């Protein structure tokens, strides 16, 4: 790891499951090395374990448009924010499924999309202080003509609005705070920085 101190170590760690529902909360007791030397006292941390996720920003290079979805988000509601926001397609990776498999499946289920080539963007922790979840992001080639409407799986309670936006319109949505998810910010900012390279690749 570049420029990381050489002695960052977890010395001991034990854990138990504190809660198991749709998600899991585990309680961990950990001792780790200190930057000034020596070993710190035992600390207790609860960690939300909700699996690992992947997200894809569908992009039409010919029309310079992205596909975004909109659905109710309970976390935003509980946080006191408007619970609907524009996002890329995303989901939780199931057992035996790759991140690429996941985004292709979710693109079909959530937006009726057939994705072409996928370009990996970044993998990141959603909230490393309290959650083990990681998200792998992609930009996916798509033909956006005729894309739109309401999609989602009824048996999963999904009610998903699908729309296409010119990339500059998506930039404005981001600037206005209408794109509030980390996956949306990461993928859109990446595409805005790499648009010319992506369009040349996908000519």
Active-site annotation, residues: 156
C-alpha angle with apex 60: 54 to 105, nearest 5 degrees? 35
What is the Cα–Cα distance from 71 to 8, expressed in whole angstroms? Answer: 41
Bin 177: left if φ > 0, else alpha if -120 < ψ < 50, else beta.
left
What is the Cα–Cα distance from 164 to 77, expressed in whole angstroms? Answer: 25
CA nearest neighbour of 67 among 77, 56, 80: 56
- Residue 75: helix, strand or coil by DSSP? helix
Strand partners, 26: 17, 47
Q: Write out the H or E segment, with its range, that includes residue 124.
A: strand 118-125
Q: Do 139 and 59 form a contact (C-beta atoms < 8 A)?
A: yes
């Amino acid at each position: 790891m570049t420029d990381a101190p050489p002695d960052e170590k977890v010395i001991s760690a034990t854990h138990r499951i504190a809660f198991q529902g749709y998600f899991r909360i585990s309680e961990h007791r950990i001792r780790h090395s200190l930057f000034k030397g020596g070993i710190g006292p035992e600390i207790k941390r609860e960690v939300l374990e909700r699996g690992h996720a992947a997200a894809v920003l569908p992009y039409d290079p010919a029309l310079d448009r992205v596909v975004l979805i909109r659905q109710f988000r309970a976390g935003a509601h509980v946080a006191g924010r408007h619970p609907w926001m524009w996002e890329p397609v995303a989901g939780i990776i199931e057992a035996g499924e790759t991140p690429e498999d996941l985004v292709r499946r979710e693109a079909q289920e959530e937006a009726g999309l057939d994705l072409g080539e996928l370009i990996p963007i970044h993998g990141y922790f959603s909230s490393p202080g309290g959650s083990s979840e990681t998200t792998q992001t992609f930009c996916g080639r798509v033909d956006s003509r005729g894309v739109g409407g309401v999609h989602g799986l009824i048996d999963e309670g999904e009610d998903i609005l699908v729309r296409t936006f010119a990339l500059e319109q998506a930039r404005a949505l981001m600037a206005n705070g209408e794109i509030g998810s980390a996956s949306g910010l990461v993928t859109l900012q990446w595409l805005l920085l790499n648009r010319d390279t992506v369009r040349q690749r996908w000519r």
